[in-house]
């Protein structure tokens, strides 16, 4: 069975602070894919990044960066110099051999001005 845990239910920061959202996963598959999605108040899930299990390179995209560590089964997401527009619910998800996307419970990030 697959499982994704986002231990942080809510995080509140002040604008320009850096913030890291944690994601820990469980799977027996050797090939799997990890995702991060952002859900603004409109409800639509917006794709941020995909990582496959064989690619442990960290990735940076503007203010966003991701740290994938298979040894600890973690795929953490960092926002540098947060902005009010970053306020949303962020979901980590795992897609394994059954092709189903398993989501974590999400982390509500509030960035205050």
Positions touching another protein (CB under 8 A) are 33, 35, 37, 42-47, 50, 52, 91, 93, 95, 98-106
Our CB check for another protein shows the closer of 4 and 79 to be 4
> What is the spatial distance between Cα 2 and Cα 15, in angstroms, rounded to a whole number?
35
Q: Identify whether the C-beta of residue 10 lies closer than 8 Å to the C-beta of residue 107.
A: yes
Least Cβ distance, residue 17 to another protein (angstroms): 26
Q: Going by C-beta distance under 8 Å and a sequence separation of 6 or more, which residues neighbour residue 43?
A: none
Our CB check for another protein shows the closer of 79 and 95 to be 95
Our CB check for another protein shows the closer of 19 and 36 to be 36
Least Cβ distance, residue 34 to another protein (angstroms): 11
> What is the spatial distance between Cα 79 and Cα 62, in angstroms, rounded to a whole number?
9
Our CB check for another protein shows the closer of 51 and 111 to be 51
């Amino acid at each position: 069975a697959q499982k994704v845990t986002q231990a942080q239910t809510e995080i509140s920061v002040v604008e320009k602070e850096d913030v890291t959202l944690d994601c820990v996963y469980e799977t027996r598959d050797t090939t799997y894919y990890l995702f991060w999605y952002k859900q603004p108040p409109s409800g639509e899930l917006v794709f941020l990044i995909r990582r496959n299990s064989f690619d442990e390179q960290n990735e940076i995209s503007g203010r966003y960066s991701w740290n994938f560590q298979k040894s600890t089964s973690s795929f953490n997401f960092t926002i540098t110099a947060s902005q009010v527009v970053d306020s949303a619910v962020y979901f980590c998800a795992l897609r394994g051999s059954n092709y189903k996307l398993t989501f974590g419970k999400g982390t509500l990030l509030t960035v205050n001005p």
